[in-house]
Amino acid sequence: MVERRSEQEPASKLTRQQKGRLGEEAACDWLREHSYRILRKNWRCRSGEIDIVASHEGMIVFIEVRSRSGTVQYGTPQESVDIRKMKQVRATASVYLQMTGETDHQIRFDVIAVMLDKAGETVSIDHLINAF
């Protein structure tokens, strides 16, 4: 017996990694449209990863991107940035600044929340400036 899918049912569900990648791409596009210059994406060191490092108006901006699809039953994407994540991003940003020698710039920590539909298309983008 062959199982048939209805035309409305997606062939496969997006993985967490796919949602994250789509969210980061949407965030980068949004930032570029608003005069941000992307310096690094997915910058890693021993203390963790920073999704996007950008510059804007002479400031270095460390951006945590959170993506969700479907309903906000479990909270909004920005609500998922907890104290532990904030500390990890701050520690990683400190390493980034030391390694790049960019310690003389003002810095800021932002969160970009991306809502996706079931197909992975961007529904909304919410940029929280100076989030933590």
**Residues with Cβ within 8 Å of residue 46, at least 6 apart in sequence:** 95
Question: 100: which DSSP letter?
Answer: H
pLDDT in tens, 98-129: 999 998 899 999 999 999 988 889 999 999 99
User: The whole model's pTM is what?
Assistant: 0.84
pLDDT in tens, 12-43: 588 888 889 999 999 999 999 999 999 999 99
The encoded tokens of residue 83 equal 């104290």
All domains in the chain, ordered by first residue: 36-128 (3.40.1350.10)
pLDDT in tens, 54-96: 999 999 999 999 988 866 566 677 778 889 999 999 999 999 9
Distance CA 24, CA 114 (A): 8
What confidence score (pLDDT) does residue 4 get? 41
Identify any residues that bridge with 67 across adjacent strands, giving them in sequence order: 114
36-108-89-16 Cα dihedral, nearest 10 degrees = -40
Distance CA 46, CA 41 (A): 16
The encoded tokens of residue 92 equal 């990683």
The encoded tokens of residue 89 equal 């991003």
